[in-house]
């Protein structure tokens, strides 16, 4: 105690305490910070890589700052989800102007796609790439999957066909088959509305409903086709055609039969 009181009276006491406090704070900060700052540099590095790839392969159509040109729309605010969908299904980079850009072979790694997505997301906020629990139908009950079927028939089948086999649309366009589409890409298509497809917001269609639809599609496409007839699974046009032939045809046969029977009865 005697030592402490005499120390406190000493002229270097205050500066010494100040330095000690700074050292303690500094050590504490160094202990907490390295992780955060390395995550930050990792992120800036990812964005820089994304920008480099974008400048090289996308800017000819979308502009050097992604602000758009006469060859392609602005990507500011479309979000990483749109990039992941467009690149992840091989639609982008587009080779040339076409009426409708089809899904193609993907020539980029997921890492490259993520970096371009991070770059686009750094320009302005937009829908992010979904986490697994947002789209995965894992753990859904039969009832929820059945509801997914009802949701799909109400919101999607007009274009994509009753079981998502795809269908023709006006002006020579088409809604593609969903048989081979990744679960995450389905979520992204619903949220970003590519081309003629409407965008379904979180408010209109919560993640739970999207999961149910994905669950329904998974189940529908796992099922083998019983019997030889799939009706082509080519969407509403051919499905309508078959209903016409079988339905109206059946009615015609019944009508003829009744007419014949009636004539005999007379």
Which CB sits closer to ligand HEC, 96 or 266? Answer: 96
Instruction: List the one residue from 47, 63, 80, 89 that touches ligand HEC (CB under 6 A).
Output: 89
Closest CA to 135 of 209, 203, 193, 223: 209
Q: What is the smallest separation between the CB atom of 27 and ligand HEC, expressed in angstroms? A: 44
Place of tokens 């329904």: 216
Which CB sits closer to ligand HEC, 36 or 181? Answer: 181
221 is in an annotated binding site: no
Q: Can you tell me the distance from the alpha carbon of 87 to that of 234, in angstroms, rounded to the nearest whole number?
A: 25
Q: What is the smallest separation between the CB atom of 234 and ligand HEC, expressed in angstroms? A: 15
Q: Where does this chain touch ligand HEC (CB under 6 A) — which range of 27-35, 36-44, 90-98, 218-226?
A: 90-98
| Other CB atoms within 10 A of residue 151 CB | 17
Residues 175-204: x/- map of binding to ligand HEC (CB under 6 A)? xx-x--x---xx--xx-x-xxxxx-x----
Instruction: List the one residue from 76, 106, 158, 168 that touches ligand HEC (CB under 6 A).
Output: 158
Instruction: List the one residue from 46, 47, 51, 72 that touches ligand HEC (CB under 6 A).
Output: 72
Tell whether omega for the bond before 40 is within 30 degrees of 0, i.e. cis.
no
| Other CB atoms within 10 A of residue 72 CB | 18
Q: Report angle CA 74, 80, 82 to the nearest 5 degrees.
A: 60
Instruction: List the one residue from 58, 121, 123, 145 that touches ligand HEC (CB under 6 A).
Output: 58
Q: Can you tell me the distance from the alpha carbon of 167 to that of 176, in angstroms, rounded to the nearest whole number?
A: 7
The residues near 128 (Cβ < 8 Å, ≥ 6 apart) are 79, 80, 81, 121
Q: Where are the alpha helices (DSSP H) in the chain?
A: 2-9, 13-57, 59-62, 79-88, 110-123, 132-135, 142-155, 157-160, 183-192, 207-222, 236-243, 249-265
* CB-count exposure of residue 90 (10 Å: 0-12, 13-18, 19+): middle
Instruction: List the one residue from 76, 94, 106, 234 that touches ligand HEC (CB under 6 A).
Output: 94
According to the binding rule CB under 6 A, does residue 136 interact with ligand HEC? Answer: no
Instruction: List the one residue from 33, 71, 107, 230 that touches ligand HEC (CB under 6 A).
Output: 71
Q: What is the smallest separation between the CB atom of 89 and ligand HEC, expressed in angstroms? A: 5
Binding site for ligand HEC (CB under 6 A): 57-58, 60-62, 71-73, 75, 78, 82-83, 86-87, 89, 91-94, 96, 100-101, 103, 116, 155-156, 158-160, 169, 173, 175-176, 178, 181, 185-186, 189-190, 192, 194-198, 200, 213
User: Could you tell me which residues are annotated as the binding site for heme c?
Assistant: 58, 61-62, 156, 159-160
């Amino acid at each position: 105690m005697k030592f402490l009181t005499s120390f406190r009276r000493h002229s270097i006491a205050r500066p010494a305490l100040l330095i000690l406090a700074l050292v303690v704070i500094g050590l504490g900060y160094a202990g907490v910070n390295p992780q955060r700052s390395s995550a930050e540099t990792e992120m800036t590095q990812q964005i820089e890589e994304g920008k480099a790839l974008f400048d090289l392969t996308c800017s000819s159509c979308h502009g050097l700052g992604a602000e758009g040109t006469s060859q392609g729309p602005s990507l500011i605010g479309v979000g990483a989800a749109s990039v992941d969908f467009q690149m992840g299904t091989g639609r982008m980079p587009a080779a040339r102007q076409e009426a409708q850009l089809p899904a193609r072979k993907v020539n980029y790694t997921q890492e490259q796609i993520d970096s371009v997505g991070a770059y686009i997301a750094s320009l302005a906020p937009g829908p992010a790439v979904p986490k697994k629990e947002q789209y995965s139908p894992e753990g859904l009950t039969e009832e929820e999957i059945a509801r997914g079927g009802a949701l799909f028939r109400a919101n999607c089948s007009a274009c994509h066909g009753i079981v998502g086999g795809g269908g023709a649309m006006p002006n020579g366009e088409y809604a593609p088959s969903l048989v081979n589409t990744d679960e995450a890409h389905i979520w992204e298509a619903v949220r970003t509305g590519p081309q003629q497809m409407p965008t379904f917001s979180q408010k209109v269609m919560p993640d739970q409903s999207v999961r149910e639809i994905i669950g329904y599609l998974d189940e529908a496409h796992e099922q083998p086709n019983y019997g030889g007839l799939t009706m082509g699974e080519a969407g509403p046009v051919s499905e309508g055609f078959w209903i016409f032939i079988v339905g109206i045809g059946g009615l015609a046969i019944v009508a003829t039969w009744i007419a014949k029977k009636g004539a005999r009865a007379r």
